[in-house]
Homo-oligomer: A and B are copies of this chain.
Amino acid sequence: MSAVGNGNNIFWHNCPVGKPEREKLLDQKGCVVWITGLSGSGKSTVACSLSKELHARGKISYVLDGDNLRHGLNKDLSFSAEDRVENIRRVGEVARLFADAGLICIASLISPYRRDRDFCRELLPEANFIEVFMNMPLELCEARDAKGLYKLAREGKIKGFTGIDDLYEPPLNCEIELRQNDGVCPTPCAMAKQIVAYLEEKGFLEA
């Protein structure tokens, strides 16, 4: 089907079972918890921990991990500037679908630029996008270096690595900031509970 007037042939179908009905069934509200931060800041660990905490409360969540999606939906994308934007756009669009399905969607991506994160925020109804900033010092992330990527970046074997030779733009108005207390990083479980408390307070854990 070729496009006559590009897009004129695309229709929109509405179903009688919508987001509110699914939310009632699940006794929760669909939303996106978007975890941003440097490589090694603990995004994936917190995402899993949050998923576990929510599950223990009978709430259904799903983790969209930037790395994992590059094995599937986004495996056609490179690490060029353009493809990184597209990578984040697609994760944002899929996160929107999961929130619409009534799930608490936990997206875990470096997502270094404000404009890309804001694009994803704007896909969702107000307040349904909860930006979580893993505000960990570069030194801590680099010292962890679980994937050995900082080492490669320092050696110049990886170019455009966030925090080394590419910019990370910290959120200006994120909903949740996770950081060290007196130089000590909270446990993943403690950080997850901080997010759960926010979700509870805002009414996402009931229909």
A-side residues, CB < 8 A to B, are 1-4, 6-7, 9-13, 15-17, 21-22, 25-26, 39, 44, 47-48, 51-52, 55, 58, 60-65, 67-68, 70-73, 76, 78-79, 86, 90, 93-94, 96-98, 100-103, 108, 123, 147, 149, 152-153, 157-162, 166
- Judging by beta carbons under 8 Å apart, are A9 and B149 in contact? yes
- Judging by beta carbons under 8 Å apart, are A78 and B3 in contact? yes
Q: When chains A and B are docked, how far (Å) is the Cα of A9 from the Cα of B151?
A: 12
Smallest CB gap from A26: residue in B:
B60
Say yes or no: A4-B152 contact (C-beta < 8 A), given A13-B44, A48-B16.
yes
10 extra A-B contacts, CB within 8 A, seeds A3-B79, A76-B86: A1-B153, A2-B160, A13-B65, A13-B108, A16-B51, A22-B60, A62-B101, A73-B93, A90-B90, A98-B101
- Judging by beta carbons under 8 Å apart, are B72 and A93 in contact? yes
- Judging by beta carbons under 8 Å apart, are B93 and A16 in contact? no
- Judging by beta carbons under 8 Å apart, are A1 and B48 in contact? no
Q: When chains A and B are docked, how far (Å) is the Cα of A117 from the Cα of B125?
A: 33
CB-defined contacts of A162 to chain B, threshold 8 Å: 1
Q: When chains A and B are docked, how far (Å) is the Cα of A52 from the Cα of B17?
A: 6
- Judging by beta carbons under 8 Å apart, are B68 and A147 in contact? no
Nearest chain B CB to A150 CB, angstrom units: 11
Q: When chains A and B are docked, how far (Å) is the Cα of A71 from the Cα of B78?
A: 24
- Judging by beta carbons under 8 Å apart, are B149 and A71 in contact? no
- Judging by beta carbons under 8 Å apart, are B103 and A90 in contact? no
- Judging by beta carbons under 8 Å apart, are B79 and A96 in contact? no
Say yes or no: A11-B67 contact (C-beta < 8 A), given A25-B58, A72-B93, A101-B103.
yes
